[in-house]
Amino acid sequence: TFPVRVLGIETSCDETAAAILENGRALHTSVVATQIDLHAKYGGVFPEVASRQHVQTIYAVVEQALQQAHLGIKDVDAIAVTRGPGLAGSLLVGMNAAKGLALASGKPLVGVNHLEGHIYSAWVHPADIQDPPPAPEFPLLALLVSGGHTELNLMTDHLTYERLGATLDDAAGEAFDKVARLLGLPYPGGPSIQKTAEQGNPFAFQFPRSRLEGTWDFSFSGLKTAVLRTVKEYEQDTRPLPVADLAASFQAAVIDVLLTKTLAAARKFGVRQILLAGGVSANRPLREAFLAQKEFPVQIPAFSLCTDNAAMIAAAGHFRFVRGKTDSLDIDVMPNWPL
Ligand code: KG4
Ligand code: ZN
């Protein structure tokens, strides 16, 4: 049938989300119920609180995504759901909701890797625009930067990934979150650091850049420790902490390492494009740095699609579904599923 419509469901962490996507790209509705306020007082995601909140919200969120699109479950061709990686208890809520819907409607179930979803967010555009942007073209180099992952993947075709390298310690988003905590900035750390850094000088502190020459890997723990050491020095001397300068200098170091390594890999592997995805790709200075270089075209998802959402799960689910990659109703979640 044409168009192909996919209902996406995402509950891997602290967002309960559902979306309706047509033909793998045209986004009709995307509902994201965030739990950020609920977790902020713990300074991070509290797994049991997250799964219980998903239980309370999931059906209303799916309902809303369908209603806003003026569709019923009978009008979709497949149900795509995040199978992993993520918090087991959270993943289970989305998975069971998707199975229930699949069983009741007879529509096929597609289990999606959350990281694959982040990458496919670059395919998504609003359904109501006149000239959709061109789809990403292969071979491409995908830099995935999220709260749990930081990796460089070479894609020569749909659903095909060659992992060139990854972080050896903290993920980029995790580094943002940890450094934000060190600086007394609220959770989630990425947006807080970005905002605070706007008032700061990125050259105030020369923080270390782990190059890890000869590999495509990353490391952010040395940078985090350098910030910690500086914070301690200020505390010892009871000098006021230059929070904005520290945030700006930290952010500049992260951007420098990500851009330099990605460009080097893009040259080495002769890709046509660079694709930036994952929660950290919402960072404005990071986006600007990638877009400022003119060597490679860069695809970055819209701001709202960088952090966790279900449109990206529907997109990856679409490209699996049209290749016959559906799953049976007895699949389990995979909390540590690599891409
Ligand atoms: O992709 P995502 O929503 O969840 C995971 O799959 O991990 O990514 C969340 C991460 C968090 O670490 C958050 O601090 C970071 O993305 N993040 C940002 C920004 N917005 C979210 N980091 C830097 N700048 C931002 N504007
Ligand atoms: Zn994510």
- Which pLDDT tens digit goes with each residue over 181-218? 999 999 899 999 999 999 999 999 999 999 999 999 99
CA end-to-end distance (rounded Å), the chain? 29
Residue nearest to atom 19 of ligand 1 (CA): 190
pLDDT at 1 over 80: no
Task: Please give the annotated binding residues for substrate, written as ranges.
Answer: 144-148, 177, 190, 283
User: What is the count of structural domains for the chain?
Assistant: 2
Specify the pairing of strand 273-277 against strand 298-299.
parallel
- What is the chain's Cα-based Rg? 20
- Could you tell me if 112 and 208 lie in one domain? no
Do 190 and 286 fall within a single domain?
A: yes
**225 DSSP assignment:** H
336 found inside a domain: no
Q: What is the pLDDT of residues 38-77, one digit of tens each?
A: 888 888 889 999 999 999 999 999 999 999 999 999 999 9
Model confidence over 215-245: pLDDT tens digits?
A: 999 999 999 999 999 999 999 999 999 999 9
Mean pLDDT score of the chain: 97
Contact by Cβ (8 Å): 98, 81: yes
Q: Whose CA is nearest to atom 3 of ligand 1?
A: 307
Per the confidence metrics, is the pTM higher than 0.90? yes
Q: Which amino acid appears at position 26 of this protein?
A: A
Residue 333 within any structural domain of the chain: no
ipTM reported for the complex, 2 dp: 0.99
- Domain assignment present for residue 103? The answer is yes
Amino acid identity at 90 = S
pLDDT tens for 133-183 read: 999 999 999 999 999 999 999 999 999 999 999 999 999 999 999 999 999
Ligand 1 binding residues, C-beta < 6 A: 13, 146-148, 173-174, 176-177, 188-191, 194, 278-280, 282-283, 307-308
Q: Domain containing 223: what range?
A: 140-300
| Strand stretches in the chain, DSSP E | 5-10, 15-22, 26-34, 78-84, 109-113, 125-126, 140-145, 150-155, 162-166, 273-277, 298-299
Write the single-letter amino acid at 100. Answer: G
Q: What percent of the chain has pLDDT over 90?
A: 96
Instruction: Give the integer Cα–Cα distance in Å for 328 and 171.
Output: 32
Task: Residue 17: give its domain's CATH number.
Answer: 3.30.420.40
